[in-house]
């Protein structure tokens, strides 16, 4: 990322952010509400394109491809999966939910799809729970299951990066724990970028952490280092709970 600037209408939401995100690691973004971390996250898969009056400057590279260059947005989103704050399973069966991504990209062979569905569900550690309910509607699952299903759905497209926008904020502690375990296991296969309000969560699962405040990236570094010895006063104040 180089010099990322983003405006919503007249509101300058992100200011000059430079950042490099390491492969196959978990990177967490923390910061108070409205500081721009989710907005920044959505730049990676260009979901901000959907927001009216949103303007983006700067360059975003995935490997050495400029994602705001000539890339096809849908191709980009195939490589950069996303999990949202609230689980948003489609009103279809569990199977169809997961097969949605692959089908989008032209996989229609039943055997292949079966394989993908099973692999994705196994990756998301819910194959045993769901293997008998593949044809049931995904809306009948519990909140935690729905969210893990959404993760499995994102994995089915075999993305290189998985973006997670506060994936556990709508869930109970037990489901949250499961999702954190899942992230930990997944990081060998994908790069995960997670936005969280919960600093404990950031320390538990992430390798690197970025602290955002009012649209600026205040500090970015190794998680352990940052939480034990923050370099900036603002970071220290935030993680010790003085504000936010």
Partner 1 sequence: MKHSKAKENAVKCVFAATAIICIIAVVAIFIFLITESIPAFRKIGFFKFLFGDTWNPIASDKYDAPLSGTYGVFKMIVGTLAATCGSVVFGGTLGFFTAIFIAKFCPVKIKRLFTAVIHLLAGIPSVIFGFFGMKVLLPILGVFSSNGSGSGLLAVSLVLGTMILPTVVSLSKTSIDAVPESYYEGARALGATHEQAVFKTVVPAAKSGIVASIILGIGRSVGETMAVIMVAGNKVNYPGGFFQSFRVLTANIVMEMGYAGEVQLGALIATGVVLLIFILIVNVLLGLVTSRGKKEKSVKKRSGGFMGAFMYKIKSDRIGKAASYVCAFVTVVALFSIIAFVVVSGVPHLSFQLLFGEYVIAGAISILPSIAATFMTIAVSLLLAIPIGVATAVYLNEYTKKGSRAVKIIRGAIDILSGIPSIVYALFGMVTFVVWFGGRMSVLAGSFTIAIMLLPTVVRSTEESLKSVPDSLREGSLALGAGKVRTLFKVVLPSALPGIMSAIILSMGRVVSESAPFMYTMGSTIMPMPESFLSSGTTLAVALYKLAGEGRHTDEAYATAFVLLVIVLALNLLASFIEKKLNKKLQGDKNAVHSSKRKSFGRKKREGQREN
> By C-beta, is 15 or 133 nearer to partner 1?
133
Stretch that binds partner 1, among 22-30, 85-93, 180-188, 225-233 (CB under 8 A): 85-93
Kindly state whether residue 127 participates in binding partner 1, applying the rule CB under 8 A.
no
The single residue among 2, 23, 57, 75 that binds partner 1, judged by CB under 8 A, is: 75
Contact 156, 122 (CB under 8 A): no
CB within 8 A of 229, min separation 6: which ones? none
Token pair 């954190």: residue? 180
> By C-beta, is 45 or 191 nearer to partner 1?
45
Q: Within positions 190 to 219, which residues make up the interface with partner 1, using CB under 8 A?
A: none
Phi-psi region of 12 (alpha: psi -120 to 50; beta: other; left: phi over 0): beta
Cα separation of 73 and 82, whole Å? 14
Kindly state whether residue 36 participates in binding partner 1, applying the rule CB under 8 A.
no
The single residue among 10, 33, 50, 243 that binds partner 1, judged by CB under 8 A, is: 50
Kindly state whether residue 154 participates in binding partner 1, applying the rule CB under 8 A.
yes
Nearest by Cα to 194 from 220, 172, 164, 216:
164
Question: Smallest distance from the beta carbon of 172 to partner 1, in angstroms?
Answer: 9
Kindly state whether residue 45 participates in binding partner 1, applying the rule CB under 8 A.
yes
Kindly state whether residue 170 participates in binding partner 1, applying the rule CB under 8 A.
no
Contact 168, 136 (CB under 8 A): no
Contact 78, 106 (CB under 8 A): no
Nearest by Cα to 2 from 47, 69, 51:
69
Residues that bind partner 1 (CB under 8 A): 45, 47, 50, 52, 72, 74-79, 81-82, 84, 86, 88-92, 100-101, 104-105, 136-140, 142, 144-145, 150, 153-154, 157, 174-175
């Amino acid at each position: 990322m180089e010099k990322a600037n983003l405006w919503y209408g007249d509101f300058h939401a992100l200011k000059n952010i430079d950042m490099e995100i390491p492969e196959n690691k978990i990177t967490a973004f923390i910061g108070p509400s409205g500081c721009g971390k989710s907005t920044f996250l959505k730049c990676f898969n260009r979901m901000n394109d959907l927001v009216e009056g949103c303007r983006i400057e700067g360059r975003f590279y995935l490997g050495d491809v400029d994602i705001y260059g000539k890339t096809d947005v849908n191709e980009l989103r195939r490589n950069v999966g996303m999990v949202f704050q609230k689980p948003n399973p489609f009103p279809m069966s569990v199977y169809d939910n997961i097969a949605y991504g692959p089908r989008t990209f032209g996989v229609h062979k039943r055997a292949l799809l079966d394989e993908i569905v099973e692999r994705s569900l196994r990756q998301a550690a819910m194959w045993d729970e769901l293997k008998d309910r593949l044809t049931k509607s995904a809306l009948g699952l519990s909140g935690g299951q729905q969210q893990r299903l959404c993760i499995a759905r994102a994995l089915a497209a075999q993305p290189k990066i998985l973006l997670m926008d506060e994936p556990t904020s709508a869930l109970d502690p037990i489901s949250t724990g499961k999702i954190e375990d899942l992230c930990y296991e997944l990081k060998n296969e994908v790069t995960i970028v997670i936005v969280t309000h919960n600093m404990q969560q950031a320390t538990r699962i992430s390798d690197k952490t970025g602290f955002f405040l009012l649209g600026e990236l205040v500090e970015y570094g190794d998680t352990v280092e940052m939480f034990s010895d923050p370099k900036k006063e603002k970071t220290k104040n935030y993680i010790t709970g003085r504000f936010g």
